[in-house]
Amino acid sequence: MTDMPAFIAIETGNDGELPLSIAWTLPDGRVKHTLIQPDNDWLEDELVALGEYSLEELNSLGVSPLDVIRELETDHFNGTLYTAGVGYDEAALSRLFHTYGMDPFVELAPAESLYPNLAPGEWYRARGELFSELGLEPMRPEEEIQVMLALHLRVQQDDV
């Protein structure tokens, strides 16, 4: 796989901004994925929703937000990453960066914008069908990335 677009997906807590898990593609189509250790400032609210994760699980299996930023910088500094949910992913990404007083160094764009030949809404319909076909869950970043990659390859084959 060459010339693959860079895809990103972020799983958040119920508030829509608390980043819990993140995945993105590398130029060769491989996927990086990790849980994110919540910053202490993120946990001040007693009603913080950690989704299906426990705080212990995130702290023991996750990496620090700063390590996530460093990895993302190594892989995609000043790049454009394509996502299925720009607004949600931007809010979660902003929270990661603002924890350290930084501005995001990547731009997010809707994945459907990669496919101007598809009718409006067609990408989302095909994405939903592919989730069902592959038996994957849209709320899991690594599975979202798998679907976006598979859909990209499918659309590219259809255009040939």
Report the alpha-carbon distance of residue 67 to residue 70 in Å, rounded.
Answer: 5
Strands annotated E in the chain: 8-12, 19-25, 31-35, 80-83, 107-110
> Can you give the C-alpha Rg of the chain in angstroms?
16
Tens of pLDDT along the chain (160 residues) come to 457 899 999 998 876 678 999 999 998 889 999 999 998 888 776 556 787 888 899 999 999 999 999 999 999 999 999 999 888 899 999 999 999 999 999 999 999 999 999 998 999 999 999 999 999 988 899 999 999 999 999 998 876 5
pTM of the model: 0.91
Report which secondary-structure segment, H or E, holds 10: strand 8-12
